[in-house]
Amino acid sequence: MIHIKIDILTLFPHMFDGVFEESILKRAIEEGKVTIRVINFRDYTDDSHGKVDDTPYGGGAGMVLRCQPIFDCVKSLRTEDSKVILLTPSGVPYKQSIAYDLSHEKHIILICGHYEGFDERIKSICDMEISIGDYVLTGGEVPAMVLVDSITRLLPGVITDESYQNDSFQENLLDYPTYTKPRVWNGLEVPSVLLSGNHEEIRKYRQEESLRLTKEKRPDLLDK
């Protein structure tokens, strides 16, 4: 069975309370498809007062995460199978194709920055830097949750293959619209082709709707 290990390095482990205890992620963990560990890298500091940050060289606002706690923490966890990822707004933009590639890894180490930033030299021990979007969050914790969720649902048997084969962004297209009972709600009708029982017509309709919606809402996806 495919099994992936994800270690999350953070100064705020309680931010993850509950996230992995519901729904699909909970089941994936219970079924042994993924093991998630949340590790406080403050436990690795050599500073007797537990300090993990310091003032920036050259001056400026805020504090900067020091190299030592993160280097030592990563060193204690890393094996030749590990992929070390730093969450940062200056990383590569995250997308479904990256989630898919990462779902084939054996061990992922996610480093969540916080505060003003981290010592640039921390990047030297990372295999990849990822941003989840062009906005700045208080830290890498929410991005780490986004990665864990999007990777876990792609692991074999976590959701049905059919579910994710129809996902938005599969082949750079948005998902087609779906409907359920009743057939008419507040005067709004379900497209008749979906009630026709003609599977070929339904397949064509869905394909056309995917393309139409992508052209309308995300034409940038079609340029790729």
- For residues 51 and 59, the answer to whether their CB atoms sit within 8 Å is no
Catalytic residue among 27, 78, 153, 206: 153
**C-beta of 13 vs 205, nearer to ligand ADE:** 13
Specify the amino acid at residue 84. V
Indicate if 31 belongs to the active site: no
Indicate if 182 belongs to the active site: no
Cα–Cα distance list, 177 to 40, 43, 158, 186, 195 (Å): 42, 48, 23, 18, 14
Judged by the rule CB under 6 A, the positions of this chain that interact with ligand ADE are: 87-89, 131-133, 135-137, 139-140, 143
Catalytic residue among 72, 105, 129, 167: 167
- Closest approach of Cβ 26 to ligand ADE, in Å? 24
Catalytic residue among 105, 116, 129, 149: 116
- For residues 118 and 141, the answer to whether their CB atoms sit within 8 Å is no
**C-beta of 122 vs 173, nearer to ligand ADE:** 122
Catalytic residue among 42, 72, 78, 89: 89
Indicate if 127 belongs to the active site: no
User: Which letter does DSSP use for residue 168 in this model?
Assistant: T
**C-beta of 41 vs 205, nearer to ligand ADE:** 41
CB-based contacts of 82: which residues, under 8 Å, 6+ apart?
106, 107, 108, 109
Indicate if 153 belongs to the active site: yes
User: Which letter does DSSP use for residue 195 in this model?
Assistant: G
Q: Which residues are catalytic?
A: 89, 116, 153, 167
